[in-house]
Structure 1
Amino acid sequence: MTMLDSLFGLIPAASTGQQWVARDLQLVNWGGYDGHHRVRLASTATLLSGGSGSGKSTLMDAYIALLMPHTTPFNGASNGGVVGRPRGKDQRNILSYARGKVDESRTEDGTRQRVLRGDGHDTWSAIAMTWADQSGTQLTAVRAWYVPSAARTLEDVVAVRATVDGPFDARDLEGPAAQRLARHAVTEAGLTCYDTDREFTARLHSTLGIGAAGDGSKAVGLLGRIQAGQQITTVDALYKAMVLEDPDTFATADAVVEQFDKLTGTRDQMITARQQVKALEPIREHRAALEAARERVGVIEAVGSFDDGTSPAALWRHGRRLGLLRAVEADLHGRHQQAGQTSRETAARVTAARAELDGVKETLWASGGDRLATAQRELTAVRARQEEVVRARGRLDEVLAVLGATVDDEAGLAALAEQARAALADPGAKERAFAGLFDAMSLSKEAKADLAALEVERAAVLRRHDNIPGDLHAARAALAQAAGLTPEELPFVAELVEVRTEHEPWRDAFNLALGGFATLLLIDAAHVRAFRAAIDAVPTARRIRFQGVPTGLRDDVGVDAHTLPGRLDYRQGPFTGWLRSELAERFAYVCVDTPGELAQHAKALTRSGQVSEGNRGAHGGQGRANVLGFTNARRLAHLDEQVARAQRRVAQAEEQVEAARAGHDRYEVVRRAHEALVATSWDQVDVAGVEAERTRWEQVVQDVTAGNPEVTRLQERAAELEVTIQTLTEDLGRTKGLAQSLGDDWSATTDAVDTAQRALDDAQDAGTALAPDQQAYLDTLLAGTDDVGTDDAGTVAPAADPVEALAAFDAVVARAGDLLRADRQAAQQTVAAARDALRRTFETFVERWPDPNLGTDPDASYPDFVRILTELEVSGLHELEAEWRKSLLRLSGNDLTDLHNALARSVREIKERIRPVNDILADLPFSDDDHRLRIDARDTQSAVVARFRKELRDLREVLSTQATDAERERRYLRMAKVVDRIRRSSPDYADLVDVRRHVRLSAEKVDLDGNHVALYDHIGEKSGGESQELVAFIVGAALRYQLGDAGAARPRYAPVFLDEALIKADARFTGRAVGAWRGLGFQLVIGAPNDKFSALEPHVDLKYVVLKDASGRSRTKPVAGLPGTEGPA
């Protein structure tokens, strides 16, 4: 493409399109630019250079404040690490620029800003920029702010947004500023005001041609990023951030989610309908139970009471009982006659049996039967006595086994009994048995107590790291609590020292030598007075000695290794310095091996604990418990040995207790044996004597029966007749009694029949009738009368046992009142339970699905809920299920297909979007005239995305087929998992839906024939100059695209501000980057530090140096360029 150098910069020769360039930038009271300043801009490239903090970025920020939204931060190039909201209190903002903030200083009330203006009085600020096209048309945009002295936020400021078709001098706002920038005053100055930023930016975008199809926000956002010089590391990130907008897949995914949520709503409605049907299904059953129970209560109240002779209940009872009584009357009459006949027959049989027995006895006595009877009687008695003697002998043998003795005759038993009496008379035997057991148990108890005490002591020692006795610990704890101190602030001397390992044999000697000093309680001398006052009322069982000592003394007191202090280790703490000094002064005992060496030293100590101080000395006390040390391993070992010995003592004592208990038990057994032996006589255990007597009587019986066999027969016949007479006599008595009882019962039953008939007649005369439902109810309730049958006419028929039937009926009727009351109560409870169940069901329904038109009364609201249930069962639920199926098919047929297609289509569109940018780049020499830059795209779809798209296809096919409810529910859950992944809140959302991530973009250097020469992927891999040129080409082409001029010969909006840009290369590469921007038709305004001036100076047409004086005020000074460009105007 042939380029021409015109007033408006390098433009294509064939271009006749409109282009706006910035003519000048005016500042009034903006940052360090106090008063009015005008900066004229070259139509090609302008350089603003200066030292750090001179005000270059302030000029750049003025352009941001004028053209860009409030979300664009100030000073983005220099302060990329700032935090907080853009233009907030932690960043540069309108207020700080309007007041000209210099710095901050600390005061008594906090921090205070030092400003150039507006400190205690109102101020104002304004920014204006004028653009012009090649036809001479001009447009000026103005932003101004009136800042009251009390303003703290932007809401406290009067803001002006205005434009004018032509030039404008910002100093003309001084008059309106005196009126607080009132709308009418600004309008009178020739400006057109806008109420909102939206209206203001829309005017600028439409007039200046910023953005394609009226969307200038993306172009302005890109201009802001370009100005800030934000770091982008890859070509891929650069292109995606600056060229590609959000793909259609975002909207398509949102549509799928929305449709699925509607499907979920239909499903929820269906589930709700099912839940409502399930919740209301029991009400019909409850209602039926309620009505049945109410009917039963009505019948119970109608039948009345059995005590009321004229009630239906009494009529039913009389009718039933009359039939039963007549059956009993007939049964008793027949049984009474039969009993009389049986009685007479039995009496005749008894008389005949007695006559026969008398004849048998006369014959028997005549034949010697009296001697046989005597022998048999004696034999029976002897056999019974023999059993008792055998059992007694067995008990005697058990006693003899305990005593280890045997007895064969009466004399031996008498001798043993005499010995037993003597043993029982000995009073000392029992005392000895009890004394042995008591002594053994006492020893066991004492041993267990000693063991428990040692275990308690060991547990207490285990919790500590010292050897101080427990009573001293308890006393110290009580004093420390009273004084508000911790035990660690009140150490014992013994807790602060430890015998060195190599001098362990001297521990007992050191323990004796230190004596009471070891248990001295140390306290900070500063606390002594308060400590004494606090503990005065505290009682302790163990007396505590304490001493206030200075703390924090230097721990550098020298001690001799041959003396007691030199053979100790000291625990570091506030008391260590004093303690070392005290021990060195008072207990500097030289450790000697023999008593003969004691006199050689002023103070000396032997291994046995004897001390000498001149002519004085001390000895003894060995065996005293050790208290020294801030470790207790030695004491724990000693306690373990004591515990082991105590455990052995306990085991031995238990063995002694068991032996003593066994001895005591033996004494009791022997004593009981002696008592049994004394109470036994020989005739009680003479088994041989009893056996001899039985043999003698058996011989007598044999002698009598062997000589006369007829005696035996007669004797047997007499025995049989005696049994027969006894049996018949008993039967006769029972029969007579039965006949008398049946006669009495028959008479009483006859009277009862008459009484029942009269009662039945009275009830019928009173007009009482028994309804069929009442009869059925009473028959069912009093089921115990079912043994009484009824014939076809309904009259009572006699059962198999009328008496039992009558008794059963009377038993049931006797409790009929209780049965009626119980049944009435049960029916009433059923009514209450059914009403309560209905109420709970209604309340639960209304609570889960509120409806102001539904009540919860079991009777009044029942029809409404039955209607709801019927509607749900008949139509509502089916319609929802049909809608559910329809929605499921619709989601599969449309939305999932659209999403799948959109994913593929958007990738193609990204690749197609590269074409216009590549068309722009194809006409621009890159690196040299023989090469060009080209953007290349390749697919980078991951396995996760591939599986997701496959799941979309599979799910779409599955959803299009018929399914059962269970399968449909499973499909819904499967679909829910897919849809949840494309929700904006999903962690997979960007990877799956943002198709920009499915494509990797890179740049490549090609020759004029399009052949590949070099790859540009990571910008950071190139040198500073190469990266500048690469970014300029790509970003410039992207800006042309965003401005909507990709197909035009040059951009309609030319200005591009670059803050801290093009500073990473030498003049040659910088020139190529500037040439790239200008070749794309852009007007450059570059801010750079002084040290980069030489690299940029050859490639710009207008140069300024930004200066700042000692007061913090900035100004611009032109170096070369247009005439009349001095800073302050």
Structure 2
Amino acid sequence: MTGTDVGARTIYLGQFRLIRLQVINWGTFSGYKDFPIDERGVLFTGPSGSGKSSLMDAHSAVLLPTHDQRFNASADLNVRGAKQATRSVADYVRGAWSETNDEHAQSQVRYLRGGKPTWSAIAATYADGVDSITTAVVVKWFTGAETDGSSLKTMHQLHHGHFNLKLMEEWAQRNFDTRWLKATYPAHYPESQTAYMRELTKRIGLGGSKTALSLLGKAKAMKNVGDLNLFIRGNMLDEPETFGAAQKMLDAFTPLNEAYETARRAHAQERVLRDLPPNWETYRVSGRTHSLAETLLGEAMETYLRGAHVHALQDALDELEREKKALDTDLGERDRQYEEAKAAYVSLDEQLRREGQALEDLKLRLEAANSEAASRERTYRTYSALVDRLGEATPATEEEFAALRERLPQVLEQARADQQELEPQRHAIFAAAGDARKQHQAKAAELTTLRSTESLIPNHAARRRELIADGAGVPVAELPYAAELIDIADGEERWRPAAEKVLRSFGLRLLVPKRHQKAVQAFIDGNDMRGVVEYSVVTAVSGAPATPGRETLAAKLTVDWDHPCGPWLAEQLADRFDHACVESAEELEQHRMAVTLRGTVKLPGSHYRKDDRSETANPASFILGGSVTAKLAALESEVSALAAAEERTRADADDLDRRHRELEAVVDAATQLANYTGWSQLDHWTSAAAAASYAERIEQLKADNVDLQRIEEERAAAEERWQSVSDACSELRNKLSANSVRQNTLVETYERESAKPHTLENEEHRSYLDEVFAGVEAPVTPENFTQLRVAFRKELERRRDAAEAERRYAHARVKSAIDRFIEEWPDSAPDATGDVDRSGADFAALHADIVRRRLPHAMGRFQQMISEDMVPSISVLQRAVENAAGEIENRIAMVNTGLSRVEFNPGTHLQIAYKANPPAEVKEFRRKVDALLRDAPAARRDPEKLLAQFRRVRELMTRFTGDDAESRRWRTSVLDVRTSYFFYGVESDAEENVVATYRNTASNSGGEQEKLVAFCLAAALSYNLADPDSDGRPHFAPLMLDEAFSKSDEAFSQQALAAFDEFGFQLIIAAPIRMSGILEPFIGQAVLVDKRVTDDGARSNATMATFGELAARKVTDG
């Protein structure tokens, strides 16, 4: 044949059929053999063992992958002792022809081509009868004397058109020179069997169906298909495309998950750095403010204040000048009025003197009498008040006065004696009241702190921790006391008092994380802590902490495992506090270390200790645990008791103090009363009577002289007006004098201050000090400038200190954010030193970049991938699931069309029936996909819904990737649509009445079984090799059947062969000569295979034969 000949095809143009088979050195076929194959098929026949199956196996070696090659398929595997793969490629290449036992009863195989390099080659040529011919070549060779398959070398070739296999002899003679061969005979030389099969199946119409190849291999020796449902699932239906769609979906999830992690990381970074930019700005501004205030507190402040002082002095001098002019004008007018009033008074006074000399004398006497009466009355009132302090009645006569004066020494002596007796009690009760007040105030302050902080740690310890945290730049929350993480285990509350006594010192130990060790150590070492500070550096714990022994104190304690220090602390408790817990002191001797319920501790070396200080014995002072309820109740009770005690002691002190003051008043009054020596100095009644007598005489005199009375009244009015004007003049002169003195002083001060620097040239400094000056709440006057200067300094210092406090707080916040970022994402940190001044601006810029670029980009990419890639890929998978079901049903319908063209039995046809029952998992998957598609538009707009969408996607991906049995079952149920179908065979008559139902071929007789197998094989191969455009006929026609229909009668065999023929298969059959008459209508040629055995081996040969010659030989063989 030539390389361009396509043969004279008469049937099924466009369908690939085997037209030529060539072998060299294959099994017992030595040398080159060339077999043209008829378009209708070929029968390889001959005696048993002649080599018929060897030619079938040669075709299998070219057409099928290794795992589908079934050599010597005609062997009956049901025979006892039979085994799969009794022949191998190595046996065929070496030419194995007999197997005997040696003298040791060991198997000994005899080879035609053993003990030297050898080779085999097979070529199969396929043509579609139109314009395409492909020759597939497989070459196997040994380079030495090996016989095992692992030493066998392989070469694959694909030629367009025919290829003469004899040309390979020169390649063998050249010591298997493959490079020469490829250069001399260009063709496609695949590097692997996989690449060879992929290209071959594309060329000869096999497509990509792995099931088809597998089924072609099985068909050679298939005697029984068993359960029809499983056969159809496993042999007709390829793995659906849903698995590929699922893999694409999972491939899309990987970058989506990465995008989610990127967005989540950016969001977490933004959250950690969110407060850093404003805190960094505060840190910078407050730092500048502090430096500015610190700088201005010196000479600049004095210069500024001096300028303000000069300005105030100038304003005050200007105001004094204006006031002086107004006062001078007012004084001139008052002087004129004074002269007029004075002249009027003098005139009236002279007239009154001339006319009322007697009246004036009486008035002088009346004035003297009134003065004496008033003086004595004042003295009597003072005397009466002193007598009242003695608790006595005030004397009204000289006799009563004398009697009281006699008793005064006794009263004074008794009061002093009572004072001496009261003094010791007074000192004691005052001291008690003071102690009660201090105790109450201290406990009340502790209660207030407890309510606000909700911490059991004493105030002084809490303040010391805040000082250390602030100084070291560490968040207070990261420096816990051990007691805050320790509590009493459930059911062990009665051991709390003992635990408080034993763990008091350990509980007040600060726990410092390793990363803060240097900062904390440096601050504590460099500062006076005003007391004892104990701290432990907390390191990582390797492995699980030691379990405390039963009935030990450590076993009755719990720690906060959620806190980073929890594991380390648990290990410390188990190691340090393994005291045996006993009920009483008698049991202490039985243990090396123990503690009683009441807190007596036994330590190694017979050392005993019991701590009954108030802070360990009083529940209000307990420190263990995170709950403040018990301590709050105890403190409230103690504060109430202390308040009552303070009230009682204060009342007692008030009573004694009142008594002491009363006695002191008696002593003071008695002492002063002793100074009153005579009654006359108290007798205001006599002086009052004399004054009344003078007044009566004056009134009588005035009544007798009316003009005198008028003149006196006019003089009195004139005198009053003159005095009023005189007072006004004096007041004006005093003001002028005072203003003059103040003016002189201000001028001196102004000249002195003006001569000094009093102007700031720096605008920034002046503006800041103006702001400070405006904030000072004090009047601005020259006389008040000393106080103003003090207030100004305090305000400037306050602002400096406030800026420093604000700077330190901002520093701590920035430092905390930087440290957290470096700890979480060291690779993303712009600076890993943790130095705020060095890296604060970089981290603020990083936050701005995250907000402006990274986070929007990450969220945009995440949203795009979930909306445009992930959800569509899931939707594609859902459609693939639905399409796979439709494809199965369409292909089954196509196969049934082919089956309907062939009678299964007279008047009946076989059809493949099915029941579709999608499992609950498929319905669940569809609901999840529907939900994803429904929420997709909202997820594009709402970040929260987008995140919820991702969680649903991730949950779905977990179901598809889970490795547990339930996940695998769920995944298979969703993806493998084949499991949703149950297949069986239905035999129906022309009226579509069901004659029989087939579910298992093994239940039939041998002939019926082979016929049913044939129909099932035809249907399965048609399903995989045909399509609707080919009218149900396969694109690839060759079908190998080795020793088929050996159990069938002639009728069954003909019906089965008719099925293959109707479906359009080209039969390649190996069968005994007796079957030739049955096979003749369905094939186009016969090849008679024979084998001769000589001393040097068995050799097979094959020749073309007519069916008449085969019939004659069948009779001869009888």
Please indicate the TM-score interval, normalised by the length of the shorter structure.
0.3 to 0.5
